[in-house]
Amino acid sequence: MVVFDWAGTTVDFGSVAPAGAFVEAFARKGVTVTSDEARAPMGVHKKAHIEAMLKSESVGAKWREAAGRDWTRDDIDALYQLVTPMQVEAARKHGRLVPGVRECVAALRARGIKVAATTGYFAAAAAAVYEVAAAQGYVPDFTICADEVPAGRPAPWMIFRAMERLCVYPPAAVVKVGDTIVDIEDGRNAGVWSVGVIDSSNEMGLSEEEFNALSAEERDSRRAAVHERYEAARANDIINNLNELLPLIDDINERLRACSRP
């Protein structure tokens, strides 16, 4: 089984939707946050994302300056209420499939490999993403969001639920593909093959048009920086894009066969 993330991995090249919604929600509270500040905790449940932003030194300082006090749990709840409809709208607007998704999924299924999808989105945004993706021909065999488990990433529960529902085990038979550090971490915590994808990722942070406009030198430099972050998070493997996933799975299978040889 391959377990894909949604935004930044299979839809929404560059993970534009969630980042923009957080920037706008904070702006409505008089706090100007950067795209990098909004992206830093990406992949966790969106309420946990807001809390992580507020706990950061830079955003926390901006909040105190704007509000004249430290943030509270009520502020997290208020920001979450603001960001929820924004996330749903943005998920629909930016739900275009990442190049190569349909071809990759078709090739996986031709090999008898099941496809699941997990996300840090809450239920309403996850449903919006699923609807938009399905209209473009991408329908995973199983989907689950952070609202449906006791804890979202980096906890492994969404991956375990997918394994249970699709009857796939042991963990070595599962590949998790994601575009954030917590994607790498939940794959590692589940004991599966944890793979980071670079080009369309939140870590790269560029729209498809911006990425395609890079020079070869700029592209190599940015890829190398994301590669380093995934390595630091202990990714088992790293790919530039989904065109490289099938060859990687062949390589993983060969490594597993080599380990089983006497």
Name the residues annotated as catalytic: 5, 46
CB distance 210 to 200 below 8 Å: no
Cα–Cα distance measured from residue 251 to residue 54, given in angstroms and rounded to the nearest whole number: 42
| Contact residues for 155 (Cβ-Cβ < 8 A; gap 6+) | 149, 186, 189
DSSP annotation of 45: -
| Contact residues for 207 (Cβ-Cβ < 8 A; gap 6+) | 13, 14, 16
Q: Which sign does the torsion angle of CA 52, 193, 99, 108 carry?
A: negative
CB distance 18 to 9 below 8 Å: no
Decide: helix, strand or coil at residue 126.
helix
Cα–Cα distance measured from residue 53 to residue 37, given in angstroms and rounded to the nearest whole number: 7
